[in-house]
Chain A
Amino acid sequence: SQQGEEDPQALSIQEGENATMNCSYKTSINNLQWYRQNSGRGLVHLILIRSNEREKHSGRLRVTLDTSKKSSSLLITASRAADTASYFCATDAREAAGNKLTFGGGTRVLVKP
């Protein structure tokens, strides 16, 4: 079963615009991570935010976490055609020893040149 739900399921934007996607989850977590996947290939780790953090930045990426609402958002600023990919949030549940990730269903982002 999937821990999280991602919204929207698909997003189409013009190059240069910002892309925002949201993730909701169900259980208490140690951290939440965002991954990118190009054309059904392997996942690339983008950013990790711990349960005691509220916001994190990495280059053009901004992630927020609201543990009271069990939700997170990923913002990609000034998008490029190369950002076209599927984006997944993944949670590391507090009750699970070790790093076993539970993924959402993903947001498919298309950046048009």
Chain B
Amino acid sequence: ETGVTQSPTHLIKTRGQQVTLRCSSQSGHNTVSWYQQALGQGPQFIFQYYREEENGRGNFPPRFSGLQFPNYSSELNVNALELDDSALYLCASSLSLEQETQYFGPGTRLLVL
């Protein structure tokens, strides 16, 4: 157990809908990163938040957006869902930007029909 939790565990949506995924970081961790993992592939970096500000973004369109709250929990929002958005979404927290080790949550599996 890493102390990082995600909700929900599973989700089914239809194309065009919007979804919000949630992540609760390990206590005291002010940095959170989100990753998308398609079936059979490695995770891909979506974006990172540090102290409530976005700190870097991967190659994902603007319909992927995020928030980090003062208690360092965070959300990933995806608008206008597409079939290819079906994946496991992982969040990972770290104590700071400088800490090299990230602690991953169990993920949210999203299926878009």
Interface residues of A (CB under 8 A from B): 1-2, 4, 30-31, 33, 35, 40-45, 48, 88, 90, 92, 96-106
Contacts and interface: CB of A to CB of B under 8 A. Distances in A.
B73 to A, nearest CB: 17
Given A99-B31, A103-B42, A104-B42, A1 B59 contact: yes
Interface stretch (B11-19, B64-72, B105-113): B105-113
Interface of B: 2, 4, 31, 33, 35, 39, 41-45, 48, 50, 55-56, 58-59, 88, 90, 92, 94, 97-107, 109
Nearest to B4: A42
A31 B106 contact: no
A38 to B, nearest CB: 10
A9 to B, nearest CB: 9
A88 B50 CA distance: 25
A92 B100 contact: yes
Contacts of A97: 55-56, 97
A97 B101 CA distance: 15
B100 A42 contact: no
Nearest to B101: A45
B100 A31 contact: yes
16 contacts: A1-B59, A4-B42, A33-B100, A35-B104, A40-B39, A42-B4, A43-B90, A43-B92, A44-B2, A45-B102, A88-B42, A98-B55, A100-B33, A100-B56, A101-B45, A105-B41
A106 B42 contact: yes
A101 B104 contact: no
B106 A98 contact: no
A105 B90 contact: no
A30 B88 CA distance: 27
A42 B55 contact: no
Nearest to B33: A100
B31 A98 contact: yes
A102 B100 contact: no
Contacts of B90: 42-43
A42 B106 contact: yes
B108 to A, nearest CB: 10
